[in-house]
Amino acid sequence: MSITHTSTTEPALNLGAATNREILAFLSTVPPVDEVGASERVALFKSRSIKADAKMAALLLAVQMMDLTTLQGDDTPGKVRQMAAKGIRPDPSDPTVPPVAALCVYPSLVPTAVEAVANTSIKVASVATYFPSGQVPLDGKITEVENVVAAGADEVDMVINRGAFLRGDYRAMCEEIVAIKKACGPAHLKVILETGELGNLDNVRRASVLSIACGADFIKTSTGKISEAATLPVTLVMLETIREHFANTGQHIGMKPAGGIRSAKEAISYLVMINETLGPQWLSPDLFRFGVSSLLNDVLMQIRYLKTGHYQGADYFTKD
Amino acid sequence: MTVDQTDPTNEPWEYAPSTQSTDVVDIASRYGLWIHGEEVDPASGSYFATTNPATEDRIAEVASGDRVDIDRAVKSARSATKGWASLPAAERSKYLFRIARLVQERSRELAVLESLDGGKPIKESRDIDVNLVAAHFFYYAGWADKLEYAFAGLDPKPLGVAGQIIPWNFPLLMLAWKVAPALATGNTVVLKPAETTPLTALVFAQITAEAGLPPGVLNIVTGAGDTGAALAAHDGIDKIAFTGSTAVGKNIQKVAAANNTRVTLELGGKGAHIVFDDAAIDQAIEGVINGIFFNQGHVCCAGSRLLVQESIRDVFLDRLRTRISTLRVGDPLDKNTDVGAVNSKAQLARIEELVAAGKDEGNDWFQSDCALPSDGYFFAPTVFTDVAQSSRIAQEEIFGPVLSVMTFRTAAEAVEKANNTPYGLSAGIWTNKGSRILWMADRMRSGVVWANTFNKFDPASPFGGYQESGFGREGGRHGLLPYLESGVA
Amino acid sequence: MSRLAVNKTYKLYVNGAFPRSESGRVVSVSDPKGNVIARVAHASRKDLRDAVKAAIGAQASWAARTGYNRGQILYRIAEVLEDRAETFVGALKTLGHSQRSATNETQAAIDRLVWYAGWCDKFSQFSGNVNPVSGPFFNISAPEPTGVVGLLAPGVHPLLGMVSRLAPALVPGNTTVAVTPTDHATVAIDFAEVVHASDVPAGVINILTGDHEELAPWLARHAGVNAIDLSGADRELRRVAGELASATVMRVIPGPPAEDKVDWLAAAHQSPYIIEKFTETKTVWHPKGQ
């Protein structure tokens, strides 16, 4: 079914050079979000009943969309190599299970990750900009990004300057994203909003709009380092922002919820939400990723349950 | 610019059927009337079929009640009034709590039966209707022994025997809206379910027996329009409560006047759904969709007229169109169905007639291109745009999944257009500005105003209309009054 | 050879668990004939401190539940109490009550719980209202829970008395810490077990068996407690607690004076006006205009 959109925007603002006042005027065109209504829509997505081949398709797709992540102070090359092996062959007993989309690691582990997934389809994403807090002057962050790209990272996951956003210095926030996007070069940029710190869904929408306007290839919910991480309502708002941007410009922006998604059932709810908000085009690792670690085994268990008809136990799946 | 969402590089993800099993419900092949605590044969000995509107298959036979049966039921209810009203109120309360709990326990069974008999999606009967039924009984159970606190300065008494006639759009929920307050206030009841949806009422009667409700307190007489007319005209009842079309409601009011029977009416509507340019637009879309396509649009308080501020007309209609394309129309028992079957052949014909009229009047329209099942009564979600106020489809209640859209420029204009109807049941207002909500709400001539939400029901919240949408309120403290003799003329 | 009974240990009920007193103290409880029927925990001020902390932690989410949900939980307590009625009749008889008195009291406690359960989803319709102020403003007053309520549970009807003060406090969303004299700890902790089996979230109801004289001052002077119910206190203790409560402007709810022979079965002891004593009134204004 084809949809005709009439463009309602003025020429795009060059947010890298805009004044705070100009950005504020731009932000006033962003629609408000009703939190109760958003939660009700989410409840409808969760009530979808996905069974049989629809479920198998979703589970396999979910694996292909995973950014398998380790972001711990005690990460070592050995740990990353193990995770890479898991990402390449998630279920040793079932070669039909596809590899994950990417590995996501700290900058110092990028070389190890790049080597470990060489000659596979798996990408290497590096967190950067002094993840997770980002509380460092901009030049330090730019240097860090340049370094990880030089080390072979395909994707950069940056954090926005929440302090700047919350104190209303949108100019500073935008300037950073524009500069980091430039430093990324060929690498694609995911912009982490850290939605758990933003306060409400209106702010999530505003931060999403600004990040996209500043050059984000993907917008991402969270660092996974604070207790409030990805949620369905937050993700819904971000998907709706992407939808509006697409309607206005024809540009496809990707989305990544990260942190707190542990069950296959939840992951399927996210896929339902994408399907019914953005449509099948976005059901692809090119436009949607899950930032996860323990989700993979739960999805593998569900795949094996569908194939065998028996409930599975954790001991039968590798912990890498 | 155009966007092709059928890009072949991404196949659509088809949801597999996820059909609710009907094993949980045991449907008898034939149901009698429920009079004086037991199942009895109708005086005429005749029965009629109730069918599943999604398949056109017969489900069961139910009794054709006539004026002889009505008379019997009214006598039974009358005989039970003294005992029921003189029970300590706390005991009446406990019967109703028991009923609430039993509804909760048998909720899956009731939901499946409701969807089979009436055509609404199982997702709605399971998640909304039956939950609200239990909540209504729980709520009114708690008022039964607290009436001295409900109305300052009054010592209210029950009226006696209440006749109640309910519609087919929310069969069990409409039963709960009527029966719960009536019993809580010490009245006894004769209830006439709608002709096309008798089954959940009859199973409910069995639930009351399980709860130990004394015989005669609740009686159920199934039948068609004549049966209801006989009930309304019976001079042995103290009160008639009716929910249904405005046309029938007017007759009932007339007939009740002849006998000096008290009346409350909950009739039709043509609700205005008003969206301002500062609305939370994505949630407003959901509200508008829910407002007219929930329960296939068989909703008296449906937001069937969309009044959208002209400055956002194009964007809003685009999004509406996209959203409609994701609505799943089909088997009510499929857990993923959003829009189920139209309740009856007659109702489908009426919808088709009005839609044809709307097209003939020259209105632009678009419709979901979803595939409709080949059997059963189904109608695709339809939107008419730039409709004139004087158009039939802007004035008459369609009671189907059909939305009429018009534009406005100022709040004052929206109010004027919204109120320009003899109906006055519900209105929806979407705006980010709190003071505007309150300003508009003051001026809407509707019994229910939903701001930044729609189709919200709660046993604690009074519901009812202005003008030809009826009078009297159901729900809340106000919902007790229609069943009480206050002593105030 | 007769079968040896497995005797129950009576502990405190705090935060959804049954801990012993941190003080390690226990006290013997006897029947009117002087036979020891049980050893029960003797709560200390630290147990009280822990119970108040649990009640504070549980209050926001208890109050955030819908009235309907709270009502269903109170009704569930009644269901479980009804199911265990024989236990309570027995426990009351062991304490010296007659069969008839014990039965009446138990049934009245069940019915009173049902009565208050039915207020949860309608109380604000009784106690709140829209105010017709002079000006283009929407103005509404609504009752809100005061927060954490401490109770000195009465002794005369140990089950019914406690239920009569606990239930109205719970209706609008308060959480509670009840101190009950060790003399009837068996009934109190049996009731705690009923609560525990009834979907009541941890921390909403806390029951400490202990000494009113010892613990009341700690309760009345605890800056985290919002209101104190003195139904179980004698005249002297009321004076002491009342004075201490003033230090934080704690709400003092006297309840029926303990020195009178309170017939808790009387209808006067259930009323929405008792619920109201455990609430604050909040009034909100908003302009009406385009």
Whether cis (ω within 30° of 0) applies to the bond prior to A132 is yes
Buried-state track B345-364, b at ≥16 Cβ within 10 A, e below 16: eebbebbeebbeebeeeebe
Phi, psi of C189 (to 5 degrees): -80, -30
Round to whole Å and give the CA distance between B291 and B327: 14
CB B32 within 8 A of CB B203: no
**Cβ within 8 Å, pair B3-A2:** yes
User: What's domain A15-306's superfamily in CATH?
Assistant: Aldolase class I (3.20.20.70)
Buried-state track A231-254, b at ≥16 Cβ within 10 A, e below 16: bbbbbbbbbbbbbbbbbbbeeebb
Q: Which amino acids of A are annotated catalytic?
A: 157, 220, 256
pLDDT number for residue A8: 44
Q: Is A314 on the interface with B (CB under 8 A)?
A: no
**Cβ within 8 Å, pair A281-B279:** no
Average pLDDT over all residues of chain C: 96
**Cβ within 8 Å, pair A34-B280:** yes
Q: What is the three-class DSSP state of A289? A: coil
Mean per-residue pLDDT, A141-167: 98
Residues 6+ apart with CB under 8 A from C44: C21, C22, C23, C25, C210
Residue of chain B whose Cα is closest to the Cα of A239: B282
Looking up tokens 């839609």 gives B355
CATH-assigned architecture of domain B30-267+467-485:
3-Layer(aba) Sandwich (3.40)
Element (DSSP H or E) covering residue A127: strand A123-127
Average pLDDT over all residues of chain A: 94
Q: Sorting pLDDT into bands at 50, 70 and 90, what band is A13?
A: low
Round to whole Å and give the CA distance between C185 and C164: 17
Boundaries of every domain in chain A: 15-306
Residue of chain B whose Cα is closest to the Cα of C290: B436
pLDDT number for residue A17: 81
- Between positions 239 and 268 of A, the ones with CB within 8 A of B are 240, 246-247, 250
Element (DSSP H or E) covering residue A265: helix A264-277
Q: Which among C111, C122, C138 is the nearest to B142, CB-wise?
A: C122
Question: Tens of pLDDT along A289-315?
Answer: 999 999 999 999 999 999 999 999 999
Q: Is A51 on the interface with B (CB under 8 A)?
A: yes
Q: What is the three-class DSSP state of C130? A: strand
With an 8 Å CB cutoff and a minimum of 3 pairs, decide whether chains B and C touch. yes
Q: Which residues of B touch C290 (CB under 8 A)?
A: 411-412, 435-436, 439
pLDDT number for residue A6: 38
**Side chain identity, residue C24:** G
Q: Which residues of B touch A284 (CB under 8 A)?
A: 10
**Cβ within 8 Å, pair B90-C114:** yes
Which of C66, C69, C70, C72 should one mutate to test binding to chain B, selecting the residue with the greatest count of B CBs within 10 A?
C72
The torsion defined by the Cα of B393, B399, B401 and B406, in degrees rounded to 10, comes to 30
Q: Nearest-5° angle of CA C97, CA C185, CA C48?
A: 150
Q: Is A53 on the interface with B (CB under 8 A)?
A: yes
Residue C10, both tokens: 């009576």
Give first-to-last CA distance, chain C, whole Å: 87
pLDDT number for residue A10: 43
Residues in chain A: 320
Round to whole Å and give the CA distance between C112 and C106: 10
| Tally of CB atoms within 10 A around A185 | 11
Q: Which residues of B touch A48 (CB under 8 A)?
A: 15, 335-336
> Residues of chain B whose pLDDT is less than 50?
1-8
**Cβ within 8 Å, pair B434-C126:** no
Residues 6+ apart with CB under 8 A from B68: B43, B44
Chains contacting B with at least 3 CB pairs below 8 Å? A, C
Residue of chain B whose Cα is closest to the Cα of A37: B283
Residue contacts between A and B (CB atoms, under 8 Å): 108
- Please check the confidence at residue A202 and state whether its pLDDT lies above 60: yes
Round to whole Å and give the CA distance between B285 and B266: 27
**Cβ within 8 Å, pair A1-B286:** no
Q: Is A271 on the interface with B (CB under 8 A)?
A: yes
Catalytic status, residue B266: yes
Min Cα distance A313 → chain B (Å) is 26
CB B100 within 8 A of CB B134: yes
pTM over 0.90? The answer is yes
Catalytic hit among B109, B124, B195, B266: B266
What is the DSSP pairing of strand C175-181 with strand C205-210? parallel
Round to whole Å and give the CA distance between C282 and B71: 52
**Cβ within 8 Å, pair B90-C72:** no
Which of A28, A49, A200 should one mutate to test binding to chain B, selecting the residue with the greatest count of B CBs within 10 A?
A49
**Any idea which of A4-8, B58-62, C22-26, C39-43 has the lowest mean pLDDT?**
A4-8
Q: Which residues of C touch B90 (CB under 8 A)?
A: 111, 114-115
The burial class, CB within 10 Å (0-12 / 13-18 / 19+), for B311 is middle
Residues 6+ apart with CB under 8 A from C6: none
What is the DSSP pairing of strand B33-35 with strand A102-105? unpaired
With an 8 Å CB cutoff and a minimum of 3 pairs, decide whether chains C and A touch. no
For residue A39, the number of C-alpha atoms closer than 13 Å in the C-beta half-sphere is: 6
Contact residues of B toward A, CB < 8 A: 1-7, 9-18, 123, 127, 278-284, 286-287, 314-315, 318, 321-322, 325-326, 335-336, 369, 432, 452-453
pLDDT number for residue B6: 41
**Side chain identity, residue A315:** D
Q: Is A39 on the interface with B (CB under 8 A)?
A: no
Which of B2, B3, B293 should one mutate to test binding to chain A, selecting the residue with the greatest count of A CBs within 10 A?
B3
Phi, psi of A65 (to 5 degrees): -95, 0
**Cβ within 8 Å, pair B435-C287:** yes
pLDDT number for residue C1: 72
pLDDT number for residue A122: 98
- Please check the confidence at residue C262 and state whether its pLDDT lies above 60: yes
Nearest partner of A298 among A83, A59, A65, judged by Cα: A59
Residue A267, both tokens: 């992951």
* B272-451 CATH choice from 3.90.180.10, 3.40.309.10, 3.40.50.720, 3.40.190.10: 3.40.309.10
pLDDT number for residue B62: 98
Question: Tens of pLDDT along C138-167?
Answer: 999 999 999 999 999 998 899 999 999 999
Alpha helices in A18-129 (DSSP H): 20-27, 35-46, 52-64, 77-88, 110-116
pLDDT number for residue C260: 63
Q: Which domains does chain C have, with CATH numbers?
A: 36-287 (3.40.605.10)
Min Cα distance A129 → chain B (Å) is 33
Boundaries of every domain in chain B: 30-267+467-485, 272-451
